Each structure stands twice: as C-alpha cells, then as structure tokens.
Structure 1
Amino acid sequence: MTDLAAIILAAGKGTRMKSDLHKVLHPIAARPMLMHLMASVDALNPTKKIVVVGSGKEQLEAALADTAELALQEPQFGTGHAVQQAQGALGSFDGDVLILYGDVPFVPTATMQTMVERLNAPDAPAVVVLAFEPEDPTGYGRVIVEDGRIFKMVEQKDATEAEKAVKLSNSGLMAVKARDLFPLLNRVTDDNAQKEYYLTDIVNIANEDGRICVAVTTEPYTVAGINSRAQLAEMEQAWQQRRRMQAMNDGATLIAPETVWFAWDTQLGRDVLIEPNVFFGPGVRIADNVKIRANSHIEGADISSGCEIGPFARLRPGTVLEEKAKIGNFVETKKAHLGKGAKANHLTYLGDATIGAGANIGAGTITCNYDGYFKYQTVIGEGAFIGSNSALIAPVKIGRDAIVAAGSAVSRDVADGELRMVRAEQLVKPGWADRFHDAMRKKKAADKKV
C-alpha cells in the first residue's frame, strides 16, 4: 500500500441550515457530523488530512484542534476549485488521495479502503468514483458506465433526457493518485450551466486521454449528504434505527426501539433491558444485566452489572454505579459514585458525592454541594441510612452505619454508628388551630356582607 491522504471538503456556507453553527459541526448522535467522518478516515492511518474550509473557518479550527491541516477556499468556484486549494498543503506527497465531503458523514472505513484498493488494481484506473443508486436520482450527477468503466460523468443540469434516466449516481467521493489529481484539475474549465469547476470533469478528461476510470458502488445511506435541518433529522433517524438494531442483535432488549435514542459512543452489555423513552447522551457504558426503566436520561455514566435505573431518572456526567446499585424515580445524580448495592429510590439529588456500599438514601434527600462559587464533596459511609427530606450541607462526611434522622439539615460530620437528628424543637399549642379557623371564617363572612 502507498501512503494515503484525505482531502475533506467543508467550505460551503450551509445557507439552508440557517444557523450560526458551521454545517458540518451539526451533531448526529451527539457527535458533529464532521467528526463521524474523521473517525472513519483515521482508521486508515492517513499520512495527511486536509480540510478545505471557507465560511466558518474559525469554528472548524477550534473543532479539529490541530488534528488536520486547513486549506482556505475563498472565493468558492465549485468542487474542483475546492480540491485545488489543498495542493499547497499536500506539497510533495505522492501517494493515494481520497476526496471526501464533511457533510457526508457516514462513509465506512471499509468503503474507503475498497476505493483505494481499486485505485491500485492492475488496470491502474486514473479515477475511482464512489457511486450509488438512489430511489430518485433527481439532482444527482449521473455516472454512465459501459463495459465496466465510466464512459461519462454528467451533472443533472447538463444531462440529456437519456442520461437523466440512468439511476447510477455520483456521490462526489473519489480516489485518485496525487500525481494524476492536480494535472487533471488544471485542465478543468467552467464551461457549464453553473459556471463552476466541477471535480467530476477530471473523469471525462482522463477518458479523453485514453485512461480508465471506474466506479465502486455503495448503499445510499453511506453517501447521504446533509444540507438542511430536515435532512439532519432524517439522518439522525436513520442512524438511530441502525444502532437500535445493533443493540438488539448484540443481546439487549428494547421494549419500544423507536423511542430509545443512543449517542455515538454508547456501550451496552448483554441482557440489558431498556424500557420506552430512554435517552443516552455521550459517554455511557452499561454492563450486563442492567435494567433501565422508562423516561430516563443518562449521560457520562458508568453503570455496572445488575443495576436498576429509573423510571424518570437523570444520570449526569461523572456518575458511577457499582454492582446492583439502584437509582429510582425522579432521582438526579452528578459526579456521584454509588457503591455496591447502594440505593436512592426516590426524589433525590446526589451531586459531588461518594456513597458507600449498601447505603440507603431516603426520599427527598439532597446534597447541598454548591455555595454559589465552589462545589464541595459529600461522603456517605457503607451501610449508612439517610432519612427522608434530609439536606447534607457539603463538605460533610457521614460515617459507616450512621443514621441521619428524617428532616435533618446536616452541616457537620457524623461519626461511624452515630445518630444525627437536626430539627427545631416542636411547639404544641392545643386548640390554636380551631380558634384560628373560627376567626378567619367570621372575617370572611363579614367581608361578604360589605
């Protein structure tokens, strides 16, 4: 194999998105679409990665964080012109070049590999085009193939009626030898309906030179471009459907698959049960035999085997649940580590907290972890019992097997085995309520007579 470079085109203004965020940074499955593509490219270990940018350059610089070189296309005169802007960054590179699009995020690494392998086949094609057959090819450039080679590439607006009847369409993705790419591009003209320099014209020019150009085919999903909010939603749905199927094939039960939403990096073990309306944000790892009940939201959490979550639970980043821990209904956690068998069954907030094995957190308990400026830790020992409606004012430590009585506001450490009760003395006034009600009823009746 020769060295490989990837040129990713991302200079379009994305006007149809109607957004201040660069088009290729809009997320699918909680990951910018460009980063989906870059991950697939990285799996090939390319020598160079060049992203061609235009509008929104600063956003792409920040997102890529020096993981790729940037080449500026300004002004923009078409796809052929865009690829030319990468020539300086490629320098003396003399290997294979993949040409990709930042708004076509789901091209598999294996498909890219197939394109490169076909480029290096014995018949030495000048250009390998990634083609596909959509149900409706309207709007796509057509790939006219005869005897196994590309006879002609033509854009929709320049196609004849016979050419428009061809379903095999151009995805825009190509593989070309670096030594062929720029000499071909230098001969491309803007003699077309759009007055642009089409990348596809290098195929026609190579054909005129007597070179062979070929097509590799793929399914439409892998080359679907995203240019609008509606297309973004369509691709999100398509990605989720595939991920749900993968989850079930891998041994998870999804009671209502269409209501479960995964992030790009969600990890599921076997025999995980997921009830309806569950949403996973990034950074979730779930071990075997976990039950996630309905209407739960989980992000940045590490959940060990045998745990039970929800219903109506929210697990925020930094949550760690050890084996058989339980988070019940209307419980929220953030940077909370629950030991083996610990449980918070209802109506609780646990933030910046460490809860020991077997501890029980009563309903309505909150860790008061923020004073308006800084966050503080709460540590609850193994086997501790926190009574309902307690406020643990951090920083505070509750000892092993300690008991905090219901309704307590604890601001000092509690020793192992200690009972802590923090309540005001109860005041009893017999008959006071009856006298109050009588007085109020008389006053209300007098007001009605006025």
Structure 2
Amino acid sequence: MTQTNRPLDVIILAAGQGTRMKSTLPKVLHPVAGRPMVAWAVKGAQGLGARNVVVVTGHGAERVEATLQAPDVRFARQHQQLGTGHAFLCGAEALEGEGEADVLVLYGDTPLLRTETLGALIADHRAQGTALTILTGELPDATGYGRIIRGPSGEVERIVEEKAATPEERAVREFNSGVYVMDSRAPELARRITNENAAGEYYLTDLLALYRAEGDPVRAFQLADADEVMGANDRTGLAEAEAILRRRINTAHMKAGVTLQDPESVRIEDTVTLGRDVTVEPGVILRGATQVADGVTLGAYSVITSSVLGAGVTVKAHSVLEEAYVGAGSDVGPFARLRPGSVLGEGVHIGNFVETKNAQLSAGVKAGHLAYLGDVEIGAETNVGAGTIVANFDGVNKHRTQVGAGVFIGSNSTLIAPRVVGDAAFIAAGSAVHEDVPEGALAVARGKQRVLEGWSRRYWGGMREKVERKLPWLAGWLARQE
C-alpha cells in the first residue's frame, strides 16, 4: 500500500465542557448555520471519504452521541478529561484492528474548516511523504496560540505554548491550529506521551518531539485563511462563526443562480437546497431540510422551516411555513401560516391570514382571507370564503373533515368536525355546519333574521345618563330621534 492510496481515519475531539458558553447544552452541540458545531467536523470528515469517523465524547456524551447517530460515525468515551493526548488515545482505541491508515485529528468546536482545505492538507502530506503534518495559520497577532518554530530547512522543530515562549518566540506570527494528519504510528507514539507538566495533562503536541526522535521530519501546511480554524468558545465566537458561514452559504447560492436581494439580511442554513432563478427578498429565513425548486419567489421576512416548495411557487411577505409541501405554481401569503402536515397541490392560493394544519388542499383550491383549515382534506377547485373555520377540536380530541371538489364555502362559515361535504356542494355564508352535506346540495345553517324597529332608541334611551357620560356621539343620535 502506497502513501497516496492509504485509507483515512478521522478522530474528532469533542469531549470538553466549554464552560465559557455558560450553557447546559454541551459546547459542541451549539448550532451554527443549521448544524451543531461538531456536525460540521463530521461533515468535513465524510466529505473526505474517511474510512472511519470516530467522535470522542465526554461532557454530555449521551446528547452528543444521540445527535450524531449515523451508520458511518463511531464514538469513544473520554470519561476523564486528561488532555488532548489522552482524548486522541481514546479515539485511537476504537480504531484498533482496522489496519494501516493516515489519521486526521479534528475538533468539535471549529465549524469553519473547509473540506477543501482538509483535502489539500492530506494531499500535501501524502505527496511529501511526511509522517506528521501540522495545519498552521498566520496572524498579525497570534496571542493565545502555540507558535510554530521552524528549522533552517523549513521543517517544524517545535511548538511553543505562549506562556512558555520567549519575547522573540511570541513575535512569531505562525500558529498551531491543533489539526494534524499523521501516519499509522501515531497511536503507538501517543502512548509515550507523559503528563509531566504544570497541568498534569497529556498534550497531543508532544507527538512532534516523538516523531522527530524517530528521525522523521515534521512539516507544516499553512492555511490561506486563518479564520478557518477559529474556534467558537463563547456566544460571541458563535455569532462570529455564524456570520462567516452565512456569507459563505449565501455566496455559494448566488454563484449557483439564486438572487438574494439583500444578502446580509438573509439567513439560509447549510441544510437548505435552492434551485435556479430563485428570488429571495430581504429578511428571509430558511431552515432545516427545506427544498426550493426553480423559479420560486420568497417574500420579505418569510420564515420557512423543513418545507418543500415546487417550481414557480410564490411565498409572499411575512409568511411562516413549517414542515409543509407547496405544489408547483401555488402562492402563499402575505401573512399566511402553513403548519406541519400542510400539503398544497398545484396552483393553490392561500391568502392573507390563512392558517392550515394537517391539511391537504388539492389543485386549484382557493382560500383567500382569514381562514383556519385544520385536519381537513379539500378537493380540487374548491373556494373557501373569508372567515371560514374548520372547527376540528372538541376540547378533548381532534376530528377530521372531508370537503369534495368544486365546493363553494361562503364567508364566515364554520364546519364542525367531523364532517363530509360532497362534491359541488354550496354552503351559505355564515353557516355553522353540524351535519354532512350531500353532493350538489345547498346547506344553510343559520338562525332566521328578525328586525325590531326602534330597538336601539328604546335600549339606549333607558341608559341615557351613562350614554351621555361615556358615548357622546350616541347621545347626540338619541337626541335627534326625539
């Protein structure tokens, strides 16, 4: 097996508590651009075609492992946090018996590291035939990082932690990212690391000296963009990482044929897919497993979560969609809400202040204004009048309603579930429908109107003093009736 075709194993260190987050949520599970931080490292490892991906867990291990469950992800527990060297060995133990491979070490709190960068690091490591390659960066001020000290020929001689560095060493701009790619001897050498230091911990950086003692040169591969290895250690770091990833995601979509009218105000999570010629107006938020087909327009300040939008759909301003399906050519909003289980066929119109929940609306259905459609199936080309309510809840249980095709539901009607309304039926405006309506029938379910002449004058006249004090306009009207 040659250096260039050896398998790759990845160990992701994600056991730390992250006290600076001041959170009950494990640090590596804090989300950035739609993924927990540690999931970005897993995505990068998977993008490299790694043979094995091992995540070393510790603090909040059960929650971390439950979040990352996948067929190609393994876990190793670090029950005591005794340093990065110890964490690496915990991960390496999970790889025993797998055979030779290059080993890449990543971290669960560095979501900005690109898969392309890691691919270039591994390619350089293999092309140079190096035993250990360190990913490094350069900053005008590298305060807080270990400094890379190179020898005359450019190889890395040592890593000096800041607290142990001389003034000359502190002036070095090249820093250690903590990301390493090593040959298959790394676990064996790591067992020689000692904890003879002030903190009593096992440091992975000590591998450098162990490799050099074996006669192997250690090389550095320098990042073009040092921000890629920026860790998110607190809420400020999370916000900074989010901003960088948001710009990356938005730029990639624009290059792929999406129009973002105000990219700085648009939030698109990494898990979202967008087709060509999609137009995204300012303030839009796209989350989860949302899929948007070609030619869709997303109106300003809409929030869409884990929904599927067909070709040519228009979502107007301030609409909220969650786990909904919208068929091709439909339009939604403004100020509409599609709740989970809403399925709209092709050419459906959902207007302002219409709410749907667990509702299936067939092609051509129109609900233009102020309606609640819950637990209902509505047939093709049915018209739902303004103010219509499907009363699906009896106080204990939810009930389902079926409305046929070509039905006309008059304004301000209430369908009291469970109901069946046949095809081509009519429901008169203002009806409270509490019985099924046969096909082609007209349902009128409202009280008979009575008109009592002079009622207002008699009623309000009996409260004249109160009316004169609180409702002067009505007092004037009464005076004109006398």
Do the two structures share a fold, i.e. TM-score over 0.5? yes
**Does the alignment pair 1:89 with 2:94?**
yes
What is the correspondence of 1:295-374 to structure 2 with a 5 Å cutoff? 295-317=301-323, 319-334=324-339, 335-369=341-375
**Does the alignment pair 1:150 with 2:156?**
yes
Q: Is the 1:262–1:280 Cα contact (8 Å) retained in structure 2?
A: yes
Matched letter for residue 424 of structure 1: R
1:374 corresponds to: none
Partners in 1 of 2:259 and 2:70 — Cα distance? 41
Identify the match of residue 78 of structure 2 among 68, 73, 97: 73
Deviation at 1:444, TM superposition (A): 5.2
- Which sits farther off after the overlay, 66-75 or 99-108? 66-75
Deviation at 1:84, TM superposition (A): 1.9
Q: Secondary structure of 1:201's partner?
A: helix
Q: Secondary structure of 2:244's partner?
A: helix
Q: Secondary structure of 1:35's partner?
A: helix
1:184 corresponds to: 189
Partners in 1 of 2:403 and 2:108 — Cα distance? 52
- Which sits farther off after the overlay, 193-202 or 301-310? 193-202
Deviation at 1:349, TM superposition (A): 0.7
Partners in 2 of 1:346 and 1:446 — Cα distance? 40
Partners in 2 of 1:442 and 1:273 — Cα distance? 61
1:33 corresponds to: 37
Partners in 2 of 1:437 and 1:3 — Cα distance? 90
Q: Is the 2:12–2:41 Cα contact (8 Å) retained in structure 1?
A: no
1:273-297 deviation line (CA, Å, top 9, x unaligned): 2111111111111122211111111
Q: Is the 2:358–2:374 Cα contact (8 Å) retained in structure 1?
A: no
1:147-172 deviation line (CA, Å, top 9, x unaligned): 23212211111111111111111110
Partners in 2 of 1:291 and 1:434 — Cα distance? 55
Q: Secondary structure of 1:417's partner?
A: coil
1:157-206 deviation line (CA, Å, top 9, x unaligned): 11111111111111101011122x13332333334454432211211332
Partners in 1 of 2:52 and 2:362 — Cα distance? 49
Q: Is the 1:11–1:55 Cα contact (8 Å) retained in structure 2?
A: yes
1:292 corresponds to: 298
Deviation at 1:446, TM superposition (A): 8.4
Partners in 2 of 1:392 and 1:313 — Cα distance? 21
- Which sits farther off after the overlay, 425-434 or 256-265? 425-434
Residues 119/198 of structure 1: CA separation in 2 closer, same or farther (3 Å cut): same
Q: Is the 1:157–1:193 Cα contact (8 Å) retained in structure 2?
A: no
What is the correspondence of 1:164-183 to structure 2 with a 5 Å cutoff? 164-179=170-185, 181-183=186-188
Q: Is the 2:20–2:233 Cα contact (8 Å) retained in structure 1?
A: yes
1:407 corresponds to: 412
Q: Is the 1:124–1:212 Cα contact (8 Å) retained in structure 2?
A: no
**Does the alignment pair 1:385 with 2:383?**
yes
Identify the match of residue 435 of structure 1 among 443, 453, 458: 458
Deviation at 1:105, TM superposition (A): 2.2
- Which sits farther off after the overlay, 231-240 or 264-273? 264-273
Deviation at 1:212, TM superposition (A): 0.9
Identify the match of residue 65 of structure 2 among 36, 61, 68: 61
1:207 corresponds to: 212
- Normalising by structure 2, we get a TM-score of 0.86
Partners in 1 of 2:209 and 2:457 — Cα distance? 97
Deviation at 1:407, TM superposition (A): 0.9
Deviation at 1:33, TM superposition (A): 1.2
Partners in 2 of 1:118 and 1:446 — Cα distance? 88
Q: Secondary structure of 1:329's partner?
A: coil
Deviation at 1:220, TM superposition (A): 2.0
**Does the alignment pair 1:49 with 2:47?**
no
Identify the match of residue 103 of structure 1 among 106, 109, 114: 109
Tell me which structure has the larger Cα radius of gyration. 2
Q: CA RMSD in A?
A: 2.1
Deviation at 1:361, TM superposition (A): 0.5
Matched letter for residue 40 of structure 2: H
Deviation at 1:255, TM superposition (A): 1.9
Q: Is the 2:136–2:176 Cα contact (8 Å) retained in structure 1?
A: yes
Matched letter for residue 122 of structure 2: V
Q: Secondary structure of 1:39's partner?
A: helix
1:375 corresponds to: none
Partners in 2 of 1:430 and 1:276 — Cα distance? 55
**Does the alignment pair 1:420 with 2:427?**
yes
Partners in 2 of 1:74 and 1:91 — Cα distance? 19
**Does the alignment pair 1:227 with 2:233?**
yes
Residues 215/427 of structure 1: CA separation in 2 closer, same or farther (3 Å cut): farther
Matched letter for residue 419 of structure 1: F
